[in-house]
Amino acid sequence: AFIGLHLTAHTWTGSGAGPTGIFFYLPNTSSNWLFEDMYIERYQDNLIIQHDEKFNNNRITNVKIRRNILSNPMRKDNHGNTNAYLQGIDNLVEEENILSNFKSNDSLTNPAGTQLSHNFYNHETNGPVVVEKNIIYNGRTNVTVRTGSPNISYNVSIRGGQGLNITSEAPYSTNM
Read off the pLDDT of each residue in 128-149 and give the average, rounded to a whole number: 80
Cβ atoms 65, 47 nearer than 8 A: yes
| 10-50 confidence digits (pLDDT tens) | 777 766 666 777 787 766 678 899 999 999 998 888 898 88
Q: For strand 60-66 and strand 30-36, is the pairing parallel, antiparallel, or unpaired?
A: parallel
In the prediction, which pLDDT does 58 show?
72
Burial 85-108 (b: 16+ CB within 10 A, else e): bbbbbbbbbbbebbbbbebbeeee
What is the percent of the chain with per-residue pLDDT over 70, rounded to a whole number? 67
Please give the model's pTM, rounded to 2 decimal places. Answer: 0.84
In the prediction, which pLDDT does 42 show?
85
- DSSP assignment string, 32-66: EEEEES-EEESSSEEEEEEE-GGGTT--EEEEEEE
Neighbours of 143 (CB within 10 A): 28
What is the percent of the chain with per-residue pLDDT over 90, rounded to a whole number? 22
In the prediction, which pLDDT does 170 show?
56
In the prediction, which pLDDT does 92 show?
93
Cβ atoms 39, 68 nearer than 8 A: yes
Helix (H), strand (E) at residue 137: strand 135-137
Whether the per-residue pLDDT at 176 is higher than 80: the answer is no
Phi and psi angles of residue 24, each rounded to the nearest 5 degrees, phi first: -105, 95
Cβ atoms 141, 160 nearer than 8 A: yes
pLDDT band, very low/low/confident/very high, at 72 (cuts 50, 70, 90): confident
| 86-125 confidence digits (pLDDT tens) | 988 899 999 999 998 876 655 545 555 556 677 888 888 8
Q: Rounded mean pLDDT of the chain?
A: 79
In the prediction, which pLDDT does 69 show?
96
Cβ atoms 85, 48 nearer than 8 A: yes
- DSSP assignment string, 76-121: -SS--EEEEEEESEEEEEEES-EEE-TTBT-TTT-TT-B-EEEEEE
- The whole-angstrom separation of Cα 89 and Cα 122 is 9
Helices (H), 115-170: none
